[in-house]
Structure 1
Amino acid sequence: MAERFRVVGGTALRGEVTVWGAKNSALKLMAAALLAVGRTRLTNVPAILDVTIMAELLRRLGCIVDYDAVAGVVEIEVPEQIGHRADYDLVRALRASTAVLGPLVARCGAADVAVPGGDAIGSRGLDLHAAGLAALGATVHVTHGFLVAEAPDGLHGAEIRLEFPSVGATENVLTAAVLATGTTRLENAAREPEIIDLADMLCSMGAHITGAGAGVIEIEGVDRLTPTRHAVVPDRIAAGTWAFAASATRGDIEVVGGRSAHLAAALDLVEASGATVTDTDRGFRVDSGGRRPRSFDVATLPYPGFPTDLQPFALACNAVAQGSAMITENLFEARFRTVQELNRLGAETRIDGHHVMVHGVERLSGAPVEASDIRAGAALVIAGLVAEGVTTVSGAQHIDRGYAGFAESLRGLGADVTREPDDDPFV
């Protein structure tokens, strides 16, 4: 049954909230486990729907996967022989499933991965993934809705420069090159903490990788990798969500497990909104001082710039801030779908190409709205907390893909947020 969030406005979020491992890392680490025969154990794994989907994909490839969501542990038993086809029914639900491309080509000499669907946030083609694998010696083409990569004689090292520092392409080149013959040099690589996390896990499996996180990565291929144990890096996007939530609601939140060093660009803007950010022994704290936020301009950029995944929260915060702000989306052309829903709540915005001008209002007004993706849904729930009356956010399943126990976490901070059946998500 479809569900929605019911949000009663008027609460300043106060207290502490814990962030688990990063969704954007855990899923890629699960895919990387395919590179080694035997049992790999991941800890600090978030209890989210996407992990369940990735586990099912690995099972269809022939693995045995045990997922303890309460303990945050995934164990993956990889057999000697694995399949190499990722079907559309799973890939369309989980875009991150394309992360199996590199491991499958490296292990099997072939990968058939359905062209993905996923979040409605704009075009995210696989051209860079395909170009990277082709440079390593694979033959890559699209047929009958599948991206097919074949390297029956194995892969070889190469000099590769990405046209754009794509996280997904960087990950697939990394996971393919670790078992290639010779040395690979990857320039203009993504620099996110999740890339470093993947490289750390691969090195613990026996890979030889240097430069992860610095933009130029060198990989010396090895003959085989071995299973490992690895703790997933904390989720910087979830941590950033709570940081903006504290500012928007005029609250005070300690983000336990959050790493401020992974959020420098975002936390700079949280401070620009008037909140105080301090590191603690357990993470970091954002204290608004009970004040209405000040407006701040935002431009999304690849890491270490401001993350596109936090742009909807910057929108929600600016919607109730003092003054006007310009939000510029440089990465995904459809990520402003949040704007029309915020407008239903009384936000004053104007879209001009890849810019949105936001004029802050004192308070929004509750109304039914709909989530289009993970972050948009969570941002609309936060917006509902600064709206008069009741807001309902349809599409709870989107939020479940990125946040474990989102309603429970909000209630722990004092919010009146519940889940309820959504018989007609468009009403």
Structure 2
Amino acid sequence: MNSLLQDAQAAGARVGLTAEKITINGGRPLRGRIQLKGAKNLVTKAMVAALLADGPSELRDVPDISDVRVVRGLLDIHGVKVTDGPEEGVLLLDPTGVESAHMADIDAHAGSSRIPILFCGPLLHALGEAFIPDLGGCRIGDRPIDFHLEVLRRFGAVVEKLPSGIRMTAPNGLHGAKVELPYPSVGATEQVLLTAVKSDGITELRGAAIEPEIMDLVNILQKMGAIITVDTDRVIRIEGVQRLTGYSHTALFDRNEAASWAAAALATEGDIFVGGARQAEMLTFLNVFRKVGGAFDIADDGIRFYHPGGDLKPVVIETDVHPGFMTDWQQPLVIALTKAKGVSIVHETVYEQRFGFVDALVDMGATIEIHKECLGGHPCRFGQRNFNHSAVIAGPTVLHAADVEVPDLRGGFSHLIAALTANGRSTVSNVGIISRGYENFISKLQQLGADFVLEN
């Protein structure tokens, strides 16, 4: 059994998904209402931020996904007491007993997650040392940790690479630094924020990511006592403080999950009300959704996404960092684009290997070609590096049933959508990976009227 499959099965088991496969009878529109919780890309980082406090924190709207379980386990082995609150989706995090953890324990709990790298700054502040194992993650492109390590060195960390992983110490404490990112990386921005807030002096970060999840992390850190200013030119300045208190915070909704269900509604000619979704954070997606031919109604408590009838229209999409079209949105939307009348182009500029999910779609009858050139937009950083990062989708095509294996989180959800639209019975395996970022997606499929059975 390969490691990716083991990770998927373990992830599924942790969130109550014991089946390895889903067999779907396609061709039925998804209709109904679902409710979102907090964003995967914010909640896990907010949990790490609790390490910086000298008292307990309360985080609300926490989704029951495997990535949250991974971080909870990592906090536990570091002596942070994590308990469920009085209501569903509430976590109480008490870091007053924080301690060092053994490398083997960190490795065992981390699995394929890359979240341990973000523990380093807070642990260096709390303990003067940190350990991380080799790190994994979805296989969608280059996500090196070398830049993270270089950032930590600039703050004064001493980095020692060992056969079992990486050990860091801060013999002279951590101090403010000037950091300029060559690309607005979300992970690198989070690293700087979590390290700088208690470092001595002022940190200036240029070329920062400004995604809504980043801004919500800034909100949390400010609640804790941090001093952070964000300029309009992607410059973030942090004045280090000696002490941070615990926070009480309701997490930002998961806009990636919202976009995924919106794409499912459009591709299946359905009608889904996504409770908790908000217009402001979805602005760019909503514009593209409307251009394709989808319709939406915005309410105070969510957004209704539906297919209004008629032909879908082809579009040209270029993924980008916020406020551009998110890379996590393009994979689910590609399924709807196979139904559009004409030729659509998707130019991926964030992750260079994000079209691995397309092979299964072609096997299902989609007409999709992948190219190395920068198509439909401006030249990007992958254009001269021989990466297949542009897709040309011709439609409309009718997908037929097939057996497919989930390659990564967003690609896996896209395969679910494809199976839901296809004629006949499809089997999607390795579905535990989807549980990394989609809370109770099996229950939500049931709520929306999907026709499927689970298999071991």
Matched positions, count? 421
In the TM superposition, what are the counterparts of 1:195-274 in structure 2 within 5 Å?
A: 195-211=214-230, 215-274=234-293
Alignment partner, residue 425 of structure 1: none
The structural deviation recorded for 1:308 is 1.2
The structural deviation recorded for 1:69 is 11
* Equivalent pair of 1:103/1:176 in contact (CA under 8 Å): yes
Q: Does 1:76 align with 2:111?
A: no
Selected match of 1:375 from 390, 410, 427: 410
The structural deviation recorded for 1:62 is 1.3
Query: Gapped runs of 5+ residues in structure 1?
Result: 422-427
Selected match of 1:300 from 319, 329, 338: 319
- Between the aligned partners of 2:98 and 2:264, the Cα distance in structure 1 is 47
- C-alpha change, 1:260 and 1:335, in structure 2 (3 Å) is same
**1:419 is matched by which residue type in structure 2?**
L
* Equivalent pair of 1:102/1:174 in contact (CA under 8 Å): no
Query: Gapped runs of 5+ residues in structure 2?
Result: 1-17, 373-388
Q: Does 1:99 align with 2:100?
A: no
Q: Deviation per CA, 1:112-131, whole angstroms, max 9, x where unpaired? A: 11131121212101133222
**1:355 is matched by which residue type in structure 2?**
S
- Between the aligned partners of 1:396 and 1:320, the Cα distance in structure 2 is 24
- C-alpha change, 1:291 and 1:20, in structure 2 (3 Å) is farther
Alignment partner, residue 41 of structure 2: 24
- Between the aligned partners of 2:61 and 2:176, the Cα distance in structure 1 is 33
Alignment partner, residue 152 of structure 1: 171
The structural deviation recorded for 1:85 is 5.6
In the TM superposition, what are the counterparts of 1:46-195 in structure 2 within 5 Å?
A: 46-67=63-84, 71-83=88-100, 87-195=106-214
The structural deviation recorded for 1:2 is 5.0
The structural deviation recorded for 1:235 is 0.4
- Between the aligned partners of 2:394 and 2:123, the Cα distance in structure 1 is 49
- C-alpha change, 1:145 and 1:344, in structure 2 (3 Å) is farther
- Between the aligned partners of 1:201 and 1:35, the Cα distance in structure 2 is 11
Where in structure 1 do 4 or more consecutive aligned residues deviate above 6 Å? Answer: none
* Equivalent pair of 1:318/1:360 in contact (CA under 8 Å): yes
* Equivalent pair of 2:260/2:333 in contact (CA under 8 Å): no
Alignment partner, residue 402 of structure 1: 437
TM-score, with length taken from structure 2? 0.88
* Equivalent pair of 1:91/1:98 in contact (CA under 8 Å): no
- C-alpha change, 1:134 and 1:280, in structure 2 (3 Å) is same
Aligned-partner SS, 1:324: strand
The structural deviation recorded for 1:67 is 3.8
Aligned-partner SS, 2:200: coil
Aligned-partner SS, 1:16: strand
* Equivalent pair of 1:8/1:417 in contact (CA under 8 Å): yes
* Equivalent pair of 2:27/2:421 in contact (CA under 8 Å): yes
In the TM superposition, what are the counterparts of 1:354-373 in structure 2 within 5 Å?
A: 354-373=389-408
- C-alpha change, 1:292 and 1:48, in structure 2 (3 Å) is farther
Q: Does 1:4 align with 2:39?
A: no
| Percent identity for Structure 1 against Structure 2 | 38
- C-alpha change, 1:81 and 1:388, in structure 2 (3 Å) is closer
Q: Deviation per CA, 1:122-157, whole angstroms, max 9, x where unpaired? A: 210113322222222222353325233322211111
